[in-house]
Amino acid sequence: MNISPEDFGNLFKEFQREAFRLETLDDYSKSGGVEAYQAFLAGKPQPKEYKSAGWVETVRGATQSGKRMYRVHLLSRPLSDYLRFELGWGYVRNQEAGEEFFILDTTDQPNPLEGVPDFWAFDESTVVTMRYGNGGDFLGAELIPEEQAQEWLERRDSAMSNAAPFRDWWEQHKPA
């Protein structure tokens, strides 16, 4: 069932314990932070407004109230320009607000989640899958029936069991 952008956004205010995200794309450049991405590509410093964007405040508010926000990004090297931006600017920025990141690098191993779309899982009961067009253009989201949540949590568990903490992975693979 399709979920409205407003209802999707409310899930980030209403969850009680944890919010998990699986990211599977190499490019989300049309879904947000477009100006910051252009600055990154041009070799400019991070725009001040990017450093304190609304998402940072959402994460900070949730984590300071004891909630966990974490994600796994499924990727392979070499990193796309967008991934260098997202990991180098976005993840580092969001970590400071309390979000946790993990990398499932499929460069030298099979992809255990082949064909699984991006999704958010809230409090182990509400799952929303996301659809994207070319260039990471967000097209919409679908609320998964609660009775199917367990299969998505198994995908989350598979992602986590195959992923490395971002900081460790970044130290080893950070582009020069």
Q: Which two tokens stand for residue 114?
A: 């082949």
Q: Which two tokens stand for residue 170?
A: 């970044």
Q: For the domain that residue 21 is a member of, what is the CATH number? A: 3.30.870.10
- Selected residue with higher pLDDT from 139 and 49: 139
Per-residue pLDDT tens digits for 26-48: 999 998 888 999 999 999 999 98
- Per-residue pLDDT, 59: 96
Strands 126-132, 119-122: pairing is antiparallel
What is the residue-averaged pLDDT of the chain? 95
pLDDT at 52 over 90: no
Question: 3-class SS at 104?
Answer: strand
Show the domain range for 22: 2-173
**Total number of domains constituting the chain:** 1
